[in-house]
Structure 1
Amino acid sequence: MNNFQPKTLFIGKNTIYLPSCHSTNDVAAEKIQNEKIFDGTLVITSDQTAGRGQRGNTWETMPGQNITMSVILKPDFLSAADQFNLNIAVSLGVHLFLSKYIQAGLTVKWPNDIYVGNRKMGGILIENSLAGSRLSHAIVGIGVNINQLSFSNSKVISLRLATQQDEFDLEALVGELCVCLEKYYLQLRNGHIAEQKKEYLQHLFRFDETHYYTSGQERFAGKIVDVAPNGALMIEVNGAVRTFDFKEVAFEI
């Protein structure tokens, strides 16, 4: 990754490669605090020892097998109230990247995991910093299982397992991913919010299907019908639409 030059305008043009680190998001946060960082700076590692996911989950990854990276962005064109639009754009970028290799069953599981069928292939963790009512920095952490062939959790899958192909070139894939991320980020910056929201719903895991969910001690059947502007999940239950925040509902899978 020392000579990494993706075919982008700015994402990944400045790359910080670490053979091993605890968390690329944490390293990115330290860089923002202590240095002048260019928009689109990529922090990437071959061995992430303490990767984090949504809700405090950990990210299991074997050294040198998968994509573990963070992109530092400066989305000051977004207000705090609109920050979930960045999640949508990033999720669509990862989805586009993987769709070149996976033609069926690839979805975005709310709020921003990547699934193939009922198995998780990737995860996104975005940590935003605010300046007043607007975003100043966003650290976009992305983990995608690529070449790993065994996992402790049977509900996890890699690109190699899903495609039954030979080992992938990780550096080439990171370049492709940067191109896809930049495409949707520039669309977002140019105001294509409604179009991206429509595409996000088209790719949303279990959208407009009836499945079981749990919220606290309650188990219920419902149908995902929308995602609110603040990112909350909207589920139709017994004819009425209920709204759930990030930690208020769990999928039964």
Structure 2
Amino acid sequence: MHNFQPKTLFLGKNHIYLPSCHSTNDIAAEIIQTKRVFDGTIVITSNQTAGRGQRGNTWEALPNQNITFSIILKPDFLSVVHQFRLNIAVSLGIFEFLCKYLSNGLAIKWPNDIYVGNKKMGGVLIENTLSGSRIAYSVIGIGLNINQLSFSNEKAISLRLATQKQEDFDIQTLIEQLCGCIEKYYLQLKNGGAFIETQKKKYIERLFRVGEEHLYEKEEIIFKGKIVDVADSGHLMMEVGQELKKFEFKEISFVI
């Protein structure tokens, strides 16, 4: 990563590469504590030994085969009540990046997992530091399976498996491209206005299982529901029978 040169305005221009670390999100959080941090700094590692996912899950990633990095942003233009907008922008950036390589089956599983068919390719973990009613800093941890060919979890997939590519992808080139896509949607978000509704519409259109009736689980009870929308707060809106219900993150599980 010594010649890392993303074609961006600011995202990734300042970067820290660690051959190995426990968690890039933790390293990014430590950098923020020093108060000497550049907006758009990224922390990259080739071997993340204790990566974290949503719900407290660990993230399985073999050394030197996948994308594992964290972005530090200063989205002080965002209020706490609108923090899910950052999730939307980042998810769309990842989706657009992957569309360069995948034409079918790609979807965003609410709130921010990346799926190909019924298998998970990656995910995002956003950790915010607040200042009053505003977001002072965001640490955006991104993990994407790229070249790994075997997983202990049968529901996992990599870009190489999905594309059936014979040789490995170049991880550095992919991260450079990904930074450009995420920066694009982040700057749109910062500009606000019509971009907010446009991004939300795109996000909902790309949601895994949107508009289809499937099985879900809440408190060990299985039920049928249909995803129809996402509230501005980030709650998942679902038709269950004749009712429109709102679910918080971690409240329900997808039955796959």
TM-score normalised to the size of structure 2?
0.98
SS at match of 2:126: strand
Distance of 2:30 and 2:88 partners within structure 1: 25
- Residues 21-46 of structure 1: CA distance to partner in whole angstroms, max 9, x if unpaired? 00000000000002411000010000
Distance of 1:138 and 1:129 partners within structure 2: 6
Give the aligned partner of residue 91 of structure 2. Answer: 91
Give the aligned partner of residue 52 of structure 1. Answer: 52
Give the aligned partner of residue 170 of structure 2. Answer: 169
Amino acid in structure 2 at the alignment position of 1:203: R
Q: Does 1:226 align with 2:229?
A: yes
- The aligned runs of 1:48-127 (5 Å cut-off) are 48-127=48-127
SS at match of 1:102: coil
Distance of 2:67 and 2:201 partners within structure 1: 27
What's the CA shift for 1:5? 1.2
What's the CA shift for 1:19? 0.4
Amino acid in structure 2 at the alignment position of 1:196: Q
Amino acid in structure 2 at the alignment position of 1:236: E
Give the aligned partner of residue 241 of structure 2. Answer: 238
Amino acid in structure 1 at the alignment position of 2:22: H
SS at match of 2:216: strand
Structure 1 spans left out of the alignment, 5+ residues: none
Q: Does 1:134 align with 2:134?
A: yes
Percentage identity across paired residues of the two chains: 66
- The aligned runs of 1:182-197 (5 Å cut-off) are 182-191=183-192, 192-197=195-200
Distance of 1:230 and 1:48 partners within structure 2: 31
Runs (4+) of structure 1 exceeding 6 A deviation are none
Give the aligned partner of residue 203 of structure 1. Answer: 206
Amino acid in structure 2 at the alignment position of 1:41: T
What's the CA shift for 1:3? 2.3
Distance of 1:13 and 1:69 partners within structure 2: 14
Give the aligned partner of residue 40 of structure 2. Answer: 40
Distance of 2:131 and 2:102 partners within structure 1: 39
Give the aligned partner of residue 22 of structure 1. Answer: 22
SS at match of 2:128: strand
Distance of 1:219 and 1:157 partners within structure 2: 26
SS at match of 1:115: strand
Q: Does 1:5 align with 2:24?
A: no
Distance of 1:91 and 1:109 partners within structure 2: 10
SS at match of 2:175: helix
- Residues 101-149 of structure 1: CA distance to partner in whole angstroms, max 9, x if unpaired? 0000000000000000000001000001111000000000000000000
What's the CA shift for 1:2? 1.9
SS at match of 1:141: strand
Structure 2 spans left out of the alignment, 5+ residues: none
Give the aligned partner of residue 249 of structure 1. Answer: 252
What's the CA shift for 1:217? 2.6
TM-score normalised to the size of structure 1?
0.99
